Structure 1
Amino acid sequence: MDESHGQTFTDRICFWGETEPDTPAFIFWSKNGRHVLSRGEVLDLSSRFAFRLTEVGVQPGDVVCISLPNSPERIVVDFGVHLAGAVTMNGQVLRSEGQDIIESMCKAKCRVLVADPDQENGAWSICKKRFDVVSANKHSSVIRSRDVPSLTHMVYCRARKPESEFLTSLPSDTYVSKSRKPTDIASIFATSGSSGYSKLVPHTHKALLVICHRLREITGIQGKEDISFTTAPLGWIGGFPVYFLYSGAQTVIIDDTIGGEADMLKFIWNIICEENVSVGGFASFQLLGIFERRELWESSGKKLKKILTGGQPLKRECLDAVGHLSDSILNFYASTEVGVICVVELNESNKHEFKDNVTLNPVSGVEMRLVDSELKDVSGETRGEIVVRSETLTVGYIGDTGSKASFLPDGWFRTDDVAYVDARGGVCVEGRSSDAIIHGAYILYPTWLEEKLVACPGVEQLVIVPVPDKLVHQEICACVKRCEGSLSEEEDILHFAEAAVTRSIPSALNVVPKYVVFFEEFPLTKSLKLNRKELAKLAREKLQL
């Protein structure tokens, strides 16, 4: 460990802003070209936004909900909140009525919401009917809401391109708070189960910087020598600007305020070549998609040092990219609550030893055990639930007392993931022990979606189950029992589902079911409860998957 572990984000942002300030820090790409934020600009613009926050009364420790897509503005807002001494909270909206972000802001006692008032299907356009605007000026509104009593202000971040006015509208005055301690909460993340019942995960400055340290050690990213690329949202712990904060490394990101390219995989690979990216982070479906497009990479001569992936069990076909797209693939097993837990690096010399779902051993500083339903250790190749212990473990969920069972005595945390240890000592993670569906980058808990879709006309009962998928690991299947006399068809169910979630979600992350399967009756257990596992099996057979 080094001295940065006794620091805060404010210390790191200021350090890099004052160290070779003209060096690029973040490079954003869109179909309109590239936008570079230098280290110095990051500090300058963020400290100016911090001053704007003080003008609306933000105090150290206040929670600021940020509902913005990946963009230069997002970086400035995130870092500006930290420079103001406040706490960032990611405000993503998946439910069409905004109930998810409303619940999160209420639990976290948010003081300010930062959003783009011009973003179609964005947080403000969806939630404003729940707010009363008391007064407004060009940059913010005083608001009141019975749903979120703590909320006092909405701060505008107009980021629409090319007429974006946010960055040019920032005040000339700057502000940097030095009041925060490493042990204070820095950021609140939502678990990737946000498509159902999210949990709010707070992390301290110290814990996040330790996570940064571990990732830098694992990936080997070094300052100006390496350039990273990521497609993950900045507000997720998996998209957190780790490498800049820790080592000042440049990060290349797609600006999501602008409509996506028709051929996004080609766009991504062209960016990687243009910027000479050395380490790229991809979801496995993106990795497979690029590899299958040989015309993209075969003639370019470009090969990454490393590809980073995670979020779902790694499949053998991903390894075909080793030696072509990159020298090696690092597969991470991680969680929002802990950060990186395990990692395996696969290259030409060891990829033949790979088996599906393997993730090998815990990273330095993380302890891991497999336990049975009575929380007793299992041995051999017996399957058990993963429990972990680390100094990076969250201090507990915010406003969710029902989840205390996840936190065991002596600092152990229940992950809800099932795994076993193979004969070589490698940990093989098979997936969730609950009904959760691993859908690409999301963990989907079916209950909320079922409650929404069962209201579809002509539907008597509806159950969401996973079915296998090569790209996103598990696709979403709606199993439907029609009401007597109903003539509902697949298209009716899907059209209803599309209205239940916001249309602004990227297609790769959409939680609308891909399949609809009709049943006369659902299978039951001996205790006459729904047998989800048997229903999923029957759905796979009907779909011939």
Structure 2
Amino acid sequence: MSLSAATLLSDSARRHPGRVAVVEGDLRLTYAALWDDALRFAAVLRERGVRPGDRVAVLLPNTADFPRAYYAVLAAGATVVPVHALLVPDEVAYVLRHSGAKALVSGGPLRPVAVEAAAAAGIAVLAVTTEAEPLPYAEERDASDTAAVLYTSGTTGRPKGARLTHLNLVLNASVCAADLLRLTPEDTVLGCLPLFHSYGQSCAMNATLRTGATLVLLPRFTGPAALDMMIRERVTVFMGVPTMYHALAEAAAADERRPEALRVGVSGGAALPVALLERFEELFGTVILEGYGLTETSPVATFNQFSGRRPGTVGHPVWGVDIAVADPEQDRTVVPLPDGEVGEVLVRGHNVFAGYLDDPEATAAVLVDGWFRTGDLGVRDKDGYLSIVDRKKDLIIRGGYNVYPREVEEVLARHPAVAQVAVIGLPDPVRGEEICAVVVPRGDAAGPGADDETRRAVADELVSWSRERLGGHKYPRTVRFLPELPLGPSGKVLKRDLRESCA
């Protein structure tokens, strides 16, 4: 079956040529202009020897050049390899060599890293240019061909390249746009998420452009800057991760202005504390719909929807996708568990990737009996709503009892002295692991200016608060204070870094 992810843009350019596709600062790029730029740069790629099936890496910030390059690579019939913008040259060079990239597209502040990495990999660095005569049309591709290779975060060993097909990308963007968010050409979506990441790429960029709506880009996220942009551009849909919602809530608490056009927020990438959801919804007078997915699921697998949502859960499976909760100890077969029991979350459907690039062993380990094993622990209730308990690797086993950090975090997040919190397990000679809460305090409570006595008092209060609300094996015995939590590019808290720094 012929299908190219380039049609996500080309079809909207045909239907809505004069509508604004992308806003970046003072730049307003129409659909017709963006597609023309993509076809022109696709012609440049052809001139530089890129052929259908080749891979082209893209290392760009959240500017209009990212969609120009992304859709140009697809229009040329090649596979796009978005590169993590925070990698150092050696790490970028690994991605270039592993993917067999024919060229690297880069510019702006990321170009020096690109030049060094490309030299190490022996390939050229190309700037986004639109001076060539445009290709007459996008190259035809098969729906099962690989459209993009997205490299995982590499929490264990080297990053792996997840192969997403044209069908994966087109269906996930279409389901997000139509079924989940009910996007129309009248919508304006704020794109603060990094576009090299699956969430920002598929949900923010692809879904928005699939609909003919407007994508507003903010190259560097801060709460006040995002609030200003939402008001100025009359943003109707905000997509973010929990740390962004925290920053926006803090900005709104200090600013009387509100984005009056905002109709919905979308949260993903990590568990959203219910206390933060409630605070944001009260401040902004809107709803947050939380979803769940991974790079390997294109990414959306489940979602709370307008027709029914349950805060604290990640909703139901999206259209065309099945979810199972299975015995996490049975690696080579799928043993479903009844509703109400915690197990590993499994996914199957049109969103599941085609496997890891040149890594059949890793692929076989996660694709079992037609299901994708996520590595996440979850529980499904009798109404079919899925709750993510934690990553398998983040599970704390204290004295033989399982402790799920998210449950502890939800309790601590409701304490007035807590702005943000992450719960980790630290090695303990008696119980195997002991529970530690790493807290970013609110206001002056135990902040940088607080003395040791004040900090100890706040820590004791948080332990008491938790002990009253959690089982005896669950509450934290240790509280550490930090000015901020270490975050990955998508806003996830890097618990591995916390464990290393707190050990």
TM-score after normalising by structure 1: 0.69
**Alpha carbons 1:224, 1:249 under 8 Å: kept:** yes
**How far apart are the structure 2 equivalents of 1:252 and 1:117?**
19
- The answer (yes or no) to whether the contact 1:190–1:198 under 8 Å persists in 2 is yes
Report sequence identity in percent.
22
Quote the residue 1:419 is aligned against: 378
Aligned in 2, Cα 1:119/1:427: closer, same or farther, shift over 3 Å?
closer
2:106 equivalent to 1:115: yes
Equivalent of 2:163, from 191, 202, 206? 202
Larger deviation, residues 221-230 vs 111-120: 111-120
User: Cα offset for 1:369?
Assistant: 1.0
1:104 to 2:62 alignment: no
Report the counterpart of residue 229 of structure 2 in structure 1.
271
- Secondary structure of the residue that 1:292 maps to in structure 2? helix
* Equivalent position amino acid for 1:214 in 2: V
Deviation at 1:429, TM superposition (A): 0.7
Contact 1:243 1:250 (C-alpha < 8 Å) held by counterparts: no
CA distance in 2, matches of 1:242, 1:249: 10
What is residue 334 of structure 1 aligned with on the other side?
293
> What residue number does 1:527 align with?
none
- Of residues 341, 346, 368, the one that matches 1:387 is 346
Match of 1:457 in 2: none
Q: Deviations over 1:254-290 (max 9, x none)?
A: 1x3xxx58xx211111111111111110111111222
- Map residues 345-494 of structure 1 onto 2, 5 A cutoff: 345=305, 354=311, 356=312, 358-372=313-327, 373-374=329-330, 375-422=334-381, 424-435=383-394, 474=422
The yes-or-no answer on 1:286 pairing with 2:250 is no
1:87 corresponds, among 54, 69, 79, to: 79
For structure 1, which segment, 374-383 or 11-20, has the greater mean C-alpha deviation from structure 2 after superposition?
A: 11-20
Q: Distance in 2 between matches of 1:8 and 1:307?
A: 29
After TM superposition, the structure 1 = structure 2 runs for residues 527-542 of structure 1, keeping only pairs within 5 Å, are none
Shift of 1:383: 1.3
Q: Give the aligned residue type for 1:390.
A: G
Native 8 Å contact 2:281 2:287 kept in 1? yes
Out of 14, 31, 34, the residue aligned to residue 39 of structure 1 is 31
Aligned partner of 2:134 in structure 1 is: 174
Match of 2:186 among 201, 225, 235: 225
**Residues 82 and 472 (structure 1 numbering): CA distance in 2 closer, same or farther, change over 3 Å?**
farther
Contact 1:221 1:249 in 2 (8 A): no
What amino acid does structure 1 have at the position aligned with 2:315? Answer: L
Q: Give the CA deviation at 1:11.
A: 3.3
- Matched to 1:247, the amino acid is T
Deviation at 1:381, TM superposition (A): 2.2
Q: Is the 2:194–2:489 contact (alpha carbons within 8 Å) kept by the matching residues of 1?
A: no
- Check 1:472–1:112 CA distance in 2 against 1; reply closer, same or farther (3 A cut): farther
Q: Is 224-233 or 504-513 further displaced after alignment?
A: 504-513
Residues in 1 aligned to 2:81 and 2:267: alpha-carbon distance in whole angstroms: 24
Which residue of the partner structure matches residue 444 of structure 1? none
CA deviation map 1:3-58 (0-9, x unaligned): xx9642333433322334221001113xxxx2111111101111111111111111
Could you list the per-position Cα deviations for residues 449-470 of structure 1 after superposition, in whole angstroms to 9, with x for gaps in the alignment?
Answer: xxxxxxxxxxxxxxxx999696
Structure 2 counterpart of 1:153, one-letter code = A
Deviation at 1:425, TM superposition (A): 4.2
Which whole-Å CA distance do the structure 1 matches of 2:425 and 2:339 have between them?
Answer: 35
Q: What is the alpha-carbon distance in structure 1 between the residues aligned to residue 321 and residue 490 of structure 2?
A: 35
The answer as to whether partners of 2:8 and 2:206 remain within 8 angstroms in 1 is no
Equivalent pair of 1:303/1:326 in contact (CA under 8 Å): no
8 Å CA contact 1:94–1:194 kept in 2: the answer is: no
Deviation at 1:113, TM superposition (A): 1.2
Aligned-partner Cα distance in 1 for 2:84–2:326: 34
Residues 1:252 and 2:248 aligned together: no
Distance in 1 (alpha carbons) for counterparts of 2:156 and 2:112:
16
Q: What TM-score do you get using the length of structure 2 for normalisation?
A: 0.74
> Given the superposition, is the C-alpha separation of residues 213 and 15 from structure 1 closer, same or farther in structure 2, using an over 3 Å criterion?
closer
Structure 2 residue aligned with 1:235: 196
1:154 to 106, 125, 129: 125
Instruction: Give unmatched runs, 5+ long, in structure 1.
Output: 132-143, 145-151, 158-165, 438-464, 480-502, 519-538, 540-545
Count matched residues.
419
**Contact between 1:62 and 1:111, CA under 8 Å: does it hold in 2?**
yes
Specify whether residues 107 and 266 from structure 1 end up closer, same or farther in structure 2 by C-alpha distance, changes over 3 A only: same
Q: Given that residues 189 and 236 in structure 2 are in contact (C-alpha distance below 8 angstroms), is that contact kept between their aligned partners in structure 1?
A: yes
3-state SS in 1 of match to 2:291: strand
- Partners of 2:166 and 2:424 lie apart in 1 by 36
